[in-house]
Structure 1
Amino acid sequence: MSAAKTKALNIIDENAVAVFSKSWCPYCRATKSTLDELGAKYYAIELDQVDDGAAIQAALKEISGQSSVPNIYIKKQHIGGNSDLQARRADLPTLLKDAGAL
């Protein structure tokens, strides 16, 4: 297994909510804003600001089939991207509470 895949899996495993993001991405900002509004504790990694960001993004495609950002995991479950998160907005407080992120 590649170092990037191991790193991505560790981030997913070790955080109730993991957001793989890029600092310039408006959809990533919308996701983080939604989580902030709900008071969620989450871990965000900005893939454009880490040396192995491209490799992590490629590993995420292997893991979830999704290559775009944001790539969101709650309680080790792949949620999808920002539109998927927003579509589940009514369920988010429960999901986040169950994950221990609220």
Structure 2
Amino acid sequence: MSAKTKAQKIIEENGVAVFSKSFCPYCKATKSLLDSLGAKYYAIELDQVDDGSDIQAALKEINGQSSVPNIYIKQQHIGGNSDLQAKKAELPALLKDANVL
């Protein structure tokens, strides 16, 4: 399976998908916010999987963003941590809509 196919499959199969790196403070802030709301989400740590750099390159191809976290809610690209934090007020409704709350 190509990295692009794998990334698209993760996005399609999960209400919330977080492409992350285990050492990244912004990724930790994203997961902490989602945890605080009780959201169920799929996180893949790109620094801990063999094809992580290929998946990251594929995401840049798909949505133009090369940094992590790279966040999707209900197959919609949200952006990174600052984008997610900026949506804090509407996040519960978005998460409910994605059936992850």
Q: TM-score, normalised by structure 1?
A: 0.98
Separation in structure 2 between the aligned mates of residue 63 and residue 100 of structure 1, nearest angstrom: 24
Separation in structure 2 between the aligned mates of residue 41 and residue 91 of structure 1, nearest angstrom: 17
Unaligned runs of 5+ in 2: none
The one-letter code matched in structure 1 to 2:95 is L
Measure how far apart 1:54 and its partner are: 0.2
Separation in structure 1 between the aligned mates of residue 76 and residue 36 of structure 2, nearest angstrom: 21
Unaligned runs of 5+ in 1: none
Measure how far apart 1:18 and its partner are: 0.0
Separation in structure 2 between the aligned mates of residue 58 and residue 75 of structure 1, nearest angstrom: 21
| Aligned position for 1:50 | 49
Separation in structure 2 between the aligned mates of residue 59 and residue 35 of structure 1, nearest angstrom: 24
| Aligned position for 2:59 | 60
Q: TM-score, normalised by structure 2?
A: 0.99
Aligned residues: 101
